[in-house]
Structure 1
Amino acid sequence: MHRSFCSQLKTYFIQTKCCSLGAVSNMSSAQPKGVEMVVEPVSCLHDEPVSIRVHGLNPGQDVTLQASMKDSKGINFLSYAHYRADSSGQVDVSKLESLGGHYKGIFPMGLIGSLVPAPNEYKYTRFFKRDVENPNIVKMTVHKGHLSDEALCSPVVGEPLATLTHLRHYMSPGVQRIPVRFGKVRGCLFLPPDLYIIAGNGPFPGVIDMFGSAGGLLEYRSAQLASRGFASLALAFFAYDDLPKHLEEFNIAYFEEAVEFLLKQEKVFGDGVGVIGTSKGGDLALSMAAFIPSVHACIVINCCNTPSVKGLRVRDCFYTPLNHVFRNVRVSDEGVVFGKEIAQDPRLHPESIIPIEKSQSAFLFLVGSDDQNVKSEFFAQLSYQRLRDHSYPKHYEVSSYPGAGHLIEPPYSPHTPISFHNSYALPLIWGGTSKHHTLAQVQAWSKVLDFLRVHLAKGESISKHKCALKSHL
Structure 2
Amino acid sequence: MNTTPKEDVVLSVIPLSCLQDEPVLIGVSGLKPNQDVTLQASAIEDQGVHYMSYAHYRADENGEVDVDKMESLGGQYEGIFPMGLIGSLVPAPPHYRYVRFIKRVVEKPLLVTISVHNGHLSAEKLCSSEVTELLSCVAHERHYMAPGVKRIPVQYGEVRGTLFLPPGDGPFPAVIDMFGTLGGLIEYRSAQLASRGFASFALAIFNYEGLPKVVEDFDIAYFEEAVKFLLQHDKVLDYGVGVIGNSKAGDLAASLATFIPSVAACVTINSFFAPANFGLRVKDRFYPPFKYETLLAKFADAGYAFVQSCIPEQKFLQKRMLPLEESSAAFLFVVSAADRDVNSEVQAQCARQRLSSHDYKQDYKVESYPGAGHLLDPPYSPHCYASFEHSYMAAICWGGTAKYQAIAQVKAWKDIKRFFLYHLKEKWHFNNDAKSPTMPGKSQL
Specify the TM-score bucket, using the shorter chain as the normaliser.
over 0.9
Q: Could you tell me whether the CA contact under 8 Å between 1:36 and 1:162 is conserved in 2? A: yes
Task: Name the structure 1 match of 2:252.
Answer: 284
Identity of aligned residues (%): 54
Q: Could you tell me whether the CA contact under 8 Å between 1:322 and 1:343 is conserved in 2? A: no
Distance 1:230 1:462 in 2: 17
Once the two structures are overlaid, the 10-residue window that deviates more, 222-231 or 151-160, is 151-160
Relative to structure 1, the CA distance from residue 432 to residue 261 in structure 2 (aligned partners, 3 Å threshold; closer, same or farther) is: same
Cα-to-partner distance string for 1:283-332 (whole Å, 9 max, x where unaligned): 00000000000000000000001011111011111111113234x55355
Q: In the alignment, residue 70 of structure 1 is paired with which amino acid?
A: I
1:345 Cα deviation after fit? 2.7
Q: Could you tell me whether the CA contact under 8 Å between 1:453 and 1:462 is conserved in 2? A: no
Of 140, 148, 154, the residue aligned with 1:166 is 140
Give the 3-state SS of the residue equivalent to 1:167 in structure 2.
strand
Q: Could you tell me whether the CA contact under 8 Å between 1:179 and 1:188 is conserved in 2? A: yes
Relative to structure 1, the CA distance from residue 145 to residue 349 in structure 2 (aligned partners, 3 Å threshold; closer, same or farther) is: closer
**TM-score, normalised to structure 1's length?**
0.89
1:463 Cα deviation after fit? 4.1
Task: Name the structure 1 match of 2:308.
Answer: 339
Once the two structures are overlaid, the 10-residue window that deviates more, 180-189 or 457-466, is 457-466
1:320 correspondence with 2:288? yes
Relative to structure 1, the CA distance from residue 470 to residue 271 in structure 2 (aligned partners, 3 Å threshold; closer, same or farther) is: closer
Q: Could you tell me whether the CA contact under 8 Å between 1:115 and 1:415 is conserved in 2? A: yes
Q: Could you tell me whether the CA contact under 8 Å between 1:249 and 1:312 is conserved in 2? A: yes
Distance 2:379 2:282 in 1: 35
Task: Name the structure 2 match of 1:361.
Answer: 329
1:158 Cα deviation after fit? 3.9
Task: Name the structure 2 match of 1:84.
Answer: 58
Distance 2:267 2:407 in 1: 19
Distance 2:255 2:335 in 1: 18
Q: Could you tell me whether the CA contact under 8 Å between 1:346 and 1:353 is conserved in 2? A: no
Task: Name the structure 2 match of 1:395.
Answer: 363
May I ask how many residue pairs the two structures share in their alignment?
435
Task: Name the structure 1 match of 2:161.
Answer: 187
Q: In the alignment, residue 442 of structure 1 is paired with which amino acid?
A: V
1:212 Cα deviation after fit? 1.9
Task: Name the structure 1 match of 2:265.
Answer: 297
Distance 1:259 1:241 in 2: 19
Higher strand share: 2
Q: Could you tell me whether the CA contact under 8 Å between 1:97 and 1:104 is conserved in 2? A: yes
Q: Could you tell me whether the CA contact under 8 Å between 1:79 and 1:116 is conserved in 2? A: yes
Task: Name the structure 2 match of 1:11.
Answer: none
Q: Could you tell me whether the CA contact under 8 Å between 1:67 and 1:141 is conserved in 2? A: yes
Q: Could you tell me whether the CA contact under 8 Å between 1:338 and 1:372 is conserved in 2? A: no
Higher helix share: 1
Question: Structure 1 unaligned runs (5+)?
Answer: 1-28, 195-200
Task: Name the structure 2 match of 1:256.
Answer: 224
Q: In the alignment, residue 177 of structure 2 is paired with which amino acid?
A: D
Give the 3-state SS of the residue equivalent to 2:237 in structure 1.
coil
Relative to structure 1, the CA distance from residue 124 to residue 462 in structure 2 (aligned partners, 3 Å threshold; closer, same or farther) is: farther
Task: Name the structure 1 match of 2:183.
Answer: 215
1:138 correspondence with 2:112? yes
Give the 3-state SS of the residue equivalent to 2:104 in structure 1.
coil
Distance 2:239 2:333 in 1: 23
Q: In the alignment, residue 52 of structure 1 is paired with which amino acid?
A: I
Distance 2:318 2:64 in 1: 60
Q: In the alignment, residue 279 of structure 2 is paired with which amino acid?
A: G
The two structures, once aligned, show a CA RMSD in angstroms of: 1.7
Q: Could you tell me whether the CA contact under 8 Å between 2:266 and 2:331 is conserved in 1? A: yes
Of 272, 285, 308, the residue aligned with 2:240 is 272
Relative to structure 1, the CA distance from residue 224 to residue 415 in structure 2 (aligned partners, 3 Å threshold; closer, same or farther) is: same
Cα-to-partner distance string for 1:163-184 (whole Å, 9 max, x where unaligned): 0100000000010000111111
Distance 1:166 1:282 in 2: 33
Give the 3-state SS of the residue equivalent to 2:335 in structure 1.
strand
Distance 1:424 1:331 in 2: 15
Task: Name the structure 2 match of 1:12.
Answer: none
